[in-house]
Amino acid sequence: MGEKKEKKSSIVAVELAKEQKQVSVSEFFLKNRHLLGFDNPIKALSTTVKELVDNSLDACEEMQILPEVITQIKQTGENKYVVIVEDNGPGIVKKQIPNVFARLLYGSKFGAQKQSRGQQGIGVSASVLYGQLTTGKPAKITSRIDPKHPAHYYELHIDTSKNEPEVVADKEVEWLNKAHGTKVEIELEGKYQRGKLGVEEYLKQVAIANPHTEIVFIGPAGEKIIHRRSAKEPPPQPKKIKPHPYGIELGLLIRMLKQTKARTVQQFFTTEFSRATPAVVKQIAEKAQISANAKPAELMHQQVDAIFRAIKQVKIMAPPTDCLSPIGEAILVDALKNGIHADFFASTTRSPAVYRGIPFQVEAAIAYGGDLPQEDFIELIRFANKVPLQHQKSACAMTKAVIGTSWKNYGLQQSKSALPTGPVVLVVHIASVWVPFTSESKEAIAHYPEIMREVKLALQEVGRKLGMYMRKTVRMNEQRERASLFEAYIPELASSLASITKEGKTEIMQHLQKRLKKDLPLLMGEKKDD
């Protein structure tokens, strides 16, 4: 019987108690690095570039400056590289540099109801952590906030047991002809690779979604790639918004009511939520059978519960959408034309929608024909808040939406539960105040039905445009064939007519040809590029 082996419960309980302890978030991610996109050397390198470039672009956006981002990758040993990313952003004030780069879950974007590339305060510190884990080297940061201030240079480790910065070096340095900006150097174990999942492709896609950015890349072999900006203006800066009543959870509402400084329920809603007009609050209060002037602190659990249920019954205007910054239909097409030679381009920017009270907006663009490969699956390029998503394609709601769209209606081949095939590049972009990713590595979008729905609608819009183009070209090709067939018979026809009419054969031929050209000018002319 198992009973024999059985230990004394209280002794086991005490033993266990000794082992129970708090784990720092750094220790956690150190052991779960693959959650942050560091599951293999190739990905580790591109993830590091990604996190640094994203931060640079966010910083430049805050300043409304046209970004100039220089990314360099140098090999320092076998499977060892140093990634250097330099921007012309506002820089970081001295005392915050260690926290921003050597502390996980530290940042300015987490709470903010505002569209930005970073949102967790994990990414960059995670790269520093990984570099430290695999090379033992500190991250090197140089930052300057304006010409009147000196540039500050830090070398940083992360004390993983405390999730706190460990300053290795800290000094002022000369930074010639750099008025303001930040430069980060991280050495790490990695593997450099070209191709769809590589750094070059990543930067190429960044240029598509951020055409106002100048991107310089210097690779390990010294090769230099420059993406010049095709847009001369930075996009309008997205605004912060307050949470929308529809997005609130009961538990959160209870907490907010406990902590609020507002003296009445009315004031609480109008000051801490968006779209909560006095009229709206009045309705909520009536449905919940409480007074709009009740003191938040004095509400009973049942009353709060009633308010919570009332919110869902009251019609409230959708959240404001100036917090969103889409790429834009025209810009998206221009950006695609920049890099791809195709016969047909189309794009769409949906009007904003809402999931869990959080506003989001979906865009899609398509390129067809030209140099694009005929036989393969279409190329799907995914963006979230203008950041390219290179990995976990199959786990992404966007991919699912593409597969779930019947592309046969639009003239593409597609076999069951697969991407369509054909000479197509398809772009999907979701912009949101809070993008729901399936993991901290932010590689795939979670399957929220509202998001799936919007993506599908966007795909159908560009799909229909493609369909029209396809039908048009198909018709044209058929007529062109008929025409050239007829043209081929002109000589015989001409000679028989000649023998009947006694006219000269050549004149008749010319007549027939002229006639044909007149009837079907388009067809006999060159095929147009759209």
Residues 274-303 that bind its own copies (CB under 8 A): 301
Per CB under 8 A, which of residues 403..462 are in contact with its own copies? 434, 436-440, 446-447
From the list 121, 123, 357, 411, which residue makes contact with its own copies (rule: CB under 8 A)?
A: 121
Per CB under 8 A, which of residues 345..384 are in contact with its own copies? none
Size (the chain), residues? 530
Q: Does 317 bind its own copies (CB under 8 A)?
A: no
From the list 42, 112, 340, 509, which residue makes contact with its own copies (rule: CB under 8 A)?
A: 112
Q: Round to whole Å and give the CA distance between 85 and 219.
A: 12
Q: Round to whole Å and give the CA distance between 198 and 182.
A: 24
Task: Considering only the stretches 190-198, 249-257, 273-281, 376-384, report the one whose residues sit in contact with its own copies under the rule CB under 8 A.
Answer: 249-257
Given the DSSP bridges, would you call strands 68-77 and 214-218 parallel, antiparallel or unpaired? parallel
From the list 76, 110, 277, 297, which residue makes contact with its own copies (rule: CB under 8 A)?
A: 110
Q: Does 2 bind its own copies (CB under 8 A)?
A: yes
3-state secondary structure of 388: strand
Task: Considering only the stretches 90-98, 345-353, 422-430, 506-514, report the one whose residues sit in contact with its own copies under the rule CB under 8 A.
Answer: 90-98
Q: Does 89 bind its own copies (CB under 8 A)?
A: yes
Number of residues that bind its own copies (CB under 8 A): 92
Nearest to 196 by CA among 390, 10, 28: 390
Q: What angle do the packed helices 505-519 and 449-501 form, to 10 degrees?
A: 160
User: Which residue matches tokens 């907006």?
Assistant: 361
Nearer to its own copies, 394 or 499 (CB): 394
Contact indicator for 141, 154 with CB cutoff of 8 Å:
yes
Task: Considering only the stretches 103-111, 317-325, 496-504, 522-530, report the one whose residues sit in contact with its own copies under the rule CB under 8 A.
Answer: 103-111
Per-residue x/- track, 65-84, its own copies (CB under 8 A): xx------------------
Task: Considering only the stretches 108-116, 343-351, 476-484, 498-506, report the one whose residues sit in contact with its own copies under the rule CB under 8 A.
Answer: 108-116
Q: Does 108 bind its own copies (CB under 8 A)?
A: yes
Per CB under 8 A, which of residues 454..513 are in contact with its own copies? none
Task: Considering only the stretches 250-258, 272-280, 370-378, 474-482, report the one whose residues sit in contact with its own copies under the rule CB under 8 A.
Answer: 250-258
Q: How far is the CB of 88 from its own copies (least distance, A)?
A: 9
Contact indicator for 326, 362 with CB cutoff of 8 Å:
no
Q: Does 180 bind its own copies (CB under 8 A)?
A: yes
Backbone torsions φ then ψ of 142, nearest 5 degrees: -120, 130
Residue 185, judged by CB atoms within 10 A of its CB (0-12, 13-18, 19+), counts as buried
Given the DSSP bridges, would you call strands 424-432 and 358-368 parallel, antiparallel or unpaired? antiparallel
Q: Which two tokens stand for residue 4?
A: 């024999």
Q: Which two tokens stand for residue 157?
A: 């480790």
Q: Does 92 bind its own copies (CB under 8 A)?
A: yes
From the list 56, 116, 132, 283, which residue makes contact with its own copies (rule: CB under 8 A)?
A: 132
Nearer to its own copies, 118 or 198 (CB): 118
Q: Does 252 bind its own copies (CB under 8 A)?
A: yes
Q: Round to whole Å and give the CA distance between 251 and 242.
A: 18
Q: Does 5 bind its own copies (CB under 8 A)?
A: yes
Q: How far is the CB of 234 from its own copies (least distance, A)?
A: 5
What are the angstrom distances between the C-alpha of 490 and each of 63, 410, 515? 69, 37, 11
Q: Does 8 bind its own copies (CB under 8 A)?
A: yes
- 4: how many CB neighbours lie within 10 A of its CB? 5
Q: Does 23 bind its own copies (CB under 8 A)?
A: yes
What are the angstrom distances between the C-alpha of 514 and each of 145, 490, 496, 524? 72, 11, 18, 11
Per CB under 8 A, which of residues 381..400 are in contact with its own copies? 392, 394-395
Q: Does 25 bind its own copies (CB under 8 A)?
A: yes
Q: Does 179 bind its own copies (CB under 8 A)?
A: yes
Q: Does 177 bind its own copies (CB under 8 A)?
A: no
Q: Bridge-partner residues for 153, per DSSP?
A: 142, 171
Nearer to its own copies, 99 or 338 (CB): 99
Q: Round to whole Å and give the CA distance between 222 and 237.
A: 35
Contacts of residue 520, Cβ cutoff 8 Å, sequence gap at least 6: 479, 480, 483
